Structure 1
Amino acid sequence: MIQTDKILSNFQRSPIMNCIGIVTEYNPFHTGHAYQLNTLAERYPDALRIVVMSGSFVQRGEPALFDKFTRARWALLNGAHAVIELPTVYATANAERFAAGAVRLLHQLGARALSFGSETNNAALLQKIAAKSSDKAVQEACRQAMKNGEFYGTALRQAIIAQYPEAAPIVNQPNALLGLEYTKAIQTYGLNMNLIPVKREGEHHNDELTTDWSSGSALRRQIRTNDNKDHLSKTLAPYLPANIIADCQEKILFNDYTEIERYHDFILYESRKLSATQLASLADFNEGLHQVWPSAGQKESWTSALDSLKSKRYSYARLNRMATYTVLGISRRLQDEAHETGPQYGRLLGFTDAARPWLQRKEFDVPLIQKWAPFVNTATGLTAEMATLDQKATDIQKLCIKNASNRKGGEDFYFTPWYIKK
């Protein structure tokens, strides 16, 4: 294995424009995200920081708390040089397909290094663990564990540790598998990308605001459940970069964020409307679940429906993603084709002065879309299906906004990419 320092030294000497890719959701943007961007800026001041970000829906199977355009601007104000939307078909997929879509898109746009939060900054170790996870013995052990009722993540962790005990401190940490999926995608597709893991600080999935480095889960929970908006705005301030506090406070005060209960009603509506045959055509609906899903949809709440569907084979996370497939109409065929073919485009959400030379190169392997209407009106085939899905996701995310006056549709068509002069 090549040592991390040597990898990064070679990266900086590369004749290709130095371009570090970051895969993220920024749901919402907080100090932990700013820390990663600032760390990269300090270590590699001459490198471009290109972010591929989930758009209107996120991988946990729900609409993003704030709209994608606002989240992109916050990132640009805090160290990102360009933000590109990850097409919804990848943003809502399982960890393997999410990672593969995002990493391939970054590579198509010229990134030759990938940075992500990790419990270790040892890139060589992550590469070794990722390679082990693809071994036949590990894959077979993983399949057997899943047959015995373990969820995929748990099964894979157990299988990796059985074959490679030294991996235990890494793979047993929150979000570890996603970092491994990024690494594995680079290996699987033979991408010319170096790894720059940034050691995490603070909380990962804690639902409470406990430290200066709180989690997105805690922030979402506080915003969606706290009715004292004035107090909430002050409470959240320590967890947000100073230059976005006022903007975020305004959004909270005017209820310009998604209300999860509204989204749950979309799920119940689709679950009651779709037939078992229609459900069977959607992504990830296997093993007869399409037969019992409609009856679960008759429950009084999605929380109750989830409890009735939960089993050893189907985790809450997986079921929430499947619920998103009912709302957005993501078919198995579309998701499979998108995964096999790879990203067809990237949509630019915003950029800074530093990204101008990169944008002007126009030597990308996929179109980088700046004007949505001309693109989507002439798109065909898989590209058209993916673009239509992105629009649908944005429109439904807007319908989930708590403040009714902010639910206007068609936002994709009248948005112009942010330009931040800095």
Structure 2
Amino acid sequence: MLHENTFSAVVCELDPLHHGHRLLLSRAGACGGPVVCLMSGNFVQRGAPAMLDKWTRTRLALSNGADLVVELPLSWACSGAERFAAGGVFLAAALGQGALYFGSEVPDTGLLMETAGALLSEEFSRALRESPPGLGFGARRQLAAEKLLGPRAGEVLSRPNANLGVEYCKAILRLRAPLTPTAIKREGAGHDEAGSIDGPLSASEIRRLTLAGDPLSGLAPESTVAALESARLEGRCAQLPNLERAILSRLRSMSKEDFSALPDLSEGLENRLYRASRQACSLEEAYSLTKNRRVSHARVRRLVLYAFLGLREPLPESPPYLRVLGATDRGLRLLSRSSLPVVVRSSDINRLPPKAQAVFRQEALADDLYGLASPTPQPSGRDYTEGFIIVGS
């Protein structure tokens, strides 16, 4: 049991909140302390807008076990697993000593920590350099880990949620964060799988059913079902295709130098993206023309999103503030422990250093563009006008 005044944290997207998320929040809350969600904003890791906006998802989190919802800023929320995890761990650690809960296909926290430690070692770097150069990074990484720790480490890195769990553990070790990692067995569908009668549907399957207008009752928490149905009827379900021409227009207007300034480049990707931007007549065509066997589709989607949203190198090393989207009374009491500046209202931004203000302005611009991702366009400026959400504990 955690000692008094600790908390449990979950790094999440909730795109949208499903039964697996609710189970994870329940397990996190079982320790008796407040539950903190470090949640992505309006754009997520898959290189797309979240179906429900961040304020709607905050209300869902608070009605399903969370006490505090903190926004994971844009450049961490839209990044690969390593930066995504590091941003969430950094924000959780700003609140002091607690536990970090996460779902994993391999719920062996000890193995995940051992794998994380190996990945941070010089022995791993050497094994990675010696792995076959013709393979993609993920395959080379698995082989190098297996060389050090055996086949179970390779299995861990081959599963999406277990791999993300390893990244949480890496961040905890690297930052010396006062967080205890706790892996929970992931139930039901895996990432981007349709799901089955044996467990909860994945978020991607819930999104598909929502857009098809199929009934969701019983397949997702009723609060999620109600929020999705309301958003669908009101034309507020954000979808990437609604931004397609805007994104293609942005890509076509970019120079080679603009592409060279994007984060996470390697393998000559800036040149491939530039050529693709001149040929592609759809986003899928742009992705296909850019990717190769060493570069994943997901990474290309994120690069295209970076281009659209104006993300450029150098990215900030760590989140410069703790932005609260919503809380219960119990969650609010945690904020006095924060080692980072706390942002509750947009006026709080004016007290921050210029670089932190720039991070917020970038978030606000991205959210203005997010407003165009819905069938019914939404107004801009919501980061400055949307009220702080507070509910009774």
Normalising by structure 2, what TM-score? Answer: 0.94
Give the corresponding residue for 1:28.
16
Query: For residues 267 and 142 of structure 1, what CA distance do their matches in structure 2 show?
Result: 36
Deviation of residue 287 (structure 1)?
4.0
1:164 aligned partner, one-letter code: L
1:39 has 2:27 as partner:
yes
1:381 has 2:354 as partner:
yes
Task: Report if the CA contact (8 A) 2:12-2:40 is conserved.
Answer: yes
Give the corresponding residue for 1:216.
203
1:96 has 2:57 as partner:
no
Would you tell me which structure has more helix in proportion to its own residues? 1
Q: Structure 2 vs 1, CA of residues 169 and 290 (structure 1 numbering), >3 Å: closer, same or farther?
A: closer
Task: Report if the CA contact (8 A) 1:209-1:219 is conserved.
Answer: no
Query: For residues 129 and 283 of structure 2, what CA distance do their matches in structure 1 show?
Result: 29
Q: Secondary structure at the match of 2:294?
A: coil
Q: Structure 2 vs 1, CA of residues 284 and 241 (structure 1 numbering), >3 Å: closer, same or farther?
A: same
Q: Structure 2 vs 1, CA of residues 207 and 173 (structure 1 numbering), >3 Å: closer, same or farther?
A: closer
Query: For residues 243 and 268 of structure 1, what CA distance do their matches in structure 2 show?
Result: 35
User: What RMSD over aligned residues (CA atoms) do the two structures have, in Å?
Assistant: 1.9
Query: For residues 144 and 175 of structure 1, what CA distance do their matches in structure 2 show?
Result: 27
Alpha-carbon deviations, 1:344-371, whole Å to 9, x = none? 1011111113223323xx2311112111
Task: Report if the CA contact (8 A) 2:236-2:376 is conserved.
Answer: yes
1:217 aligned partner, one-letter code: S
Task: Report if the CA contact (8 A) 1:83-1:348 is conserved.
Answer: yes
Give the corresponding residue for 2:222.
242
1:350 has 2:336 as partner:
no
1:314 has 2:295 as partner:
yes
Q: Structure 2 vs 1, CA of residues 121 and 207 (structure 1 numbering), >3 Å: closer, same or farther?
A: closer
Give the corresponding residue for 1:296.
276
Alpha-carbon deviations, 1:119-151, whole Å to 9, x = none? 23332222111111222232233345473231x
Give the corresponding residue for 1:18.
6
Query: For residues 186 and 248 of structure 1, what CA distance do their matches in structure 2 show?
Result: 35
Correspondences of 1:161-176 after superposition (within 5 Å): 161-165=146-150, 166-176=152-162
1:156 has 2:141 as partner:
yes
Aligned residue pairs, count = 390
Query: For residues 294 and 172 of structure 1, what CA distance do their matches in structure 2 show?
Result: 31
Give the corresponding residue for 2:238.
258
Give the corresponding residue for 1:369.
343
Percent of pairs with identical residues: 30
Task: Report if the CA contact (8 A) 1:65-1:257 is conserved.
Answer: yes
Deviation of residue 289 (structure 1)?
2.6
Task: Report if the CA contact (8 A) 1:87-1:346 is conserved.
Answer: no
Query: For residues 111 and 400 of structure 1, what CA distance do their matches in structure 2 show?
Result: 38
1:283 has 2:263 as partner:
yes
Give the corresponding residue for 1:419.
390
Q: Structure 2 vs 1, CA of residues 326 and 79 (structure 1 numbering), >3 Å: closer, same or farther?
A: same
1:31 aligned partner, one-letter code: H
Query: For residues 290 and 80 of structure 2, what CA distance do their matches in structure 1 show?
Result: 18
Q: Secondary structure at the match of 1:322?
A: helix
Task: Report if the CA contact (8 A) 1:21-1:111 is conserved.
Answer: no
| Residue 165 (structure 2) aligned to one of 174, 179, 185 | 179
1:420 aligned partner, one-letter code: V
| Residue 401 (structure 1) aligned to one of 370, 374, 392 | 374
1:83 has 2:69 as partner:
yes
Query: For residues 387 and 18 of structure 1, what CA distance do their matches in structure 2 show?
Result: 28
1:391 has 2:379 as partner:
no
Query: For residues 126 and 210 of structure 2, what CA distance do their matches in structure 1 show?
Result: 43
Query: For residues 245 and 312 of structure 1, what CA distance do their matches in structure 2 show?
Result: 38
Task: Report if the CA contact (8 A) 2:56-2:227 is conserved.
Answer: no
Unaligned stretches of 5+ in structure 2? Answer: none
Give the corresponding residue for 1:3.
none
Normalising by structure 1, what TM-score? Answer: 0.87
Deviation of residue 315 (structure 1)?
1.2
Q: Structure 2 vs 1, CA of residues 356 and 306 (structure 1 numbering), >3 Å: closer, same or farther?
A: closer
